[in-house]
Amino acid sequence: MSALTLCYALLIGLALPLGLYMGRALDTHRPSALDRLFGPLEAALMRLAGVDRRASMTWSAYLLAVLKLHLLLIVLAWLVFMGQGTLPLNPDGIPGMHWDTALHTAVSFATNTNQQHYSGQAQLSYLSQTLAIVTLQFLTPATGLAVLLAITRSLLRRPAAADNAAAGVGNYYLDLTRIVIRVLLPLALVTALVLVWQGVPATYQGAQRVTMLEGGALQTIPRGPVAAMVAIKQLGTNGGGWYGPNSSVPLENPTALADVVESVALLLIPVASLIAVAMISGRRRLLLGIGGVMLALSLSSTTLVMFSERLPNAALHGLALAGPNLEGKELRLGSDLSRGVAGPPRPPTARSTRCSTASIHSAGWGF
């Protein structure tokens, strides 16, 4: 309980300044000092892409831009997955994916669904993980935030701007660039450095082979630039960890501090976005009410889920000692933190797990 209380305290304490920062950084109608810092890089990228950053789009043009970019990303990721066996950054010699699994993975991550029909450490090369998966884990949540900004401008627009029907909903490419450069990259860098400090691998060397203490057999320990993926996996409410079991693997989540950092990171941007939208739209009272409802639902569901998971598993009655439901849980974390990822207000697209989802009591699934 104390760990989850700490997660809530950190979440609220960090989401407030981050939300204020995002409100200034992403508001295209009000210039800020951040424009002098990030503006030259953003302008260079827009010129390179041949995009007029000053042109505002209608809602249909905005939607078309989203679809075109994501179709392109699907094709590129699909080709990388299938050809990874002949591409560089593959020290473990992993062969290319079958076309249907590759297509499923590309579509899944391009739509922020993040369903894994593979185990990353065994079926994806370092190039596929970093160029394809991590790129999609940056761009798909950034697109979600960009669409949120477009909705804010059209439905929650300030009265002064609402009179201008030709104002449009913004420029998708500018919104996307700003979100990645001003929000996601800095947060991911800090989070990844903390995870590396806590022991999450960050290397392009191949798998490590060690001799077991018992029997002298060789064991292969897969590794790679894991910290970079885990950081954006959590911050972008993505799923699809470097390892198949995600954050239940000690190499993705080695310590109690890493566990808290990953839990807070998963929820930080969704909560901060509420504050940012309130700043951009000026509808502070409306967004305060929505935030209050989110917090009430989160606290009630967390309490029920934790109470449920502390009860013995009825399926194991008489087969084990009485105690919390530890079947399918990470024993390093216990039942509270194993289920805690879903306890606080978990975004519906998040698929970052640290327990076997089939082991959760029905009350947990219900909420």
Query: Would you say residue 183 lies in a domain?
Result: yes
Query: Would you say residue 302 lies in a domain?
Result: no
Tens of pLDDT, residue by residue over 6-25, are 888 999 999 999 999 999 99
**Is the pLDDT confidence value at 286 over 60?**
yes
38 closest CA partner among 185, 190, 188, 178: 178
**Is the pLDDT confidence value at 159 over 70?**
no
For residue 210, the number of C-alpha atoms closer than 13 Å in the C-beta half-sphere is 7
pLDDT of residue 165: 46
pLDDT of residue 240: 81
Domain count for the chain:
1
- Helix-helix angle 135-155:59-83, to 10 degrees: 170
Note whether 226 and 200 are within 8 A (CB). yes
Q: Which band of pLDDT confidence, cut at 50, 70 and 90, is reported for residue 348?
A: very low
Query: Would you say residue 39 lies in a domain?
Result: yes
The overall average pLDDT reported for the chain is 86
- pTM here? 0.87
**Cβ neighbours for 325, distance < 8 A, ≥ 6 positions apart:** 308, 309, 310, 311, 312, 313, 335, 359, 361
Average pLDDT over residues 179-187: 97
Query: Would you say residue 275 lies in a domain?
Result: yes
Average pLDDT over residues 55-72: 95
**Is the pLDDT confidence value at 249 over 80?**
yes
Query: Would you say residue 214 lies in a domain?
Result: no
Query: Would you say residue 257 lies in a domain?
Result: yes
Write out the residue range of the structural domain in which residue 36 sits. Answer: 16-206+219-285
Query: Would you say residue 79 lies in a domain?
Result: yes
Question: Distance between the two ends of the chain, CA-based, in angstroms?
Answer: 18
Q: Which band of pLDDT confidence, cut at 50, 70 and 90, is reported for residue 346?
A: very low
**Is the pLDDT confidence value at 221 over 60?**
yes
pLDDT of residue 141: 95
For residue 303, the number of C-alpha atoms closer than 13 Å in the C-beta half-sphere is 6
**Is the pLDDT confidence value at 328 over 70?**
no
High-pLDDT (> 90) share of the chain, % = 53
SS3 (DSSP) at 355: strand
Token pair of 360 as six digits: 């959760």
C-alpha distances in angstroms, 187 versus 121, 179, 231, 341? Answer: 25, 11, 8, 19
Query: Would you say residue 96 lies in a domain?
Result: yes
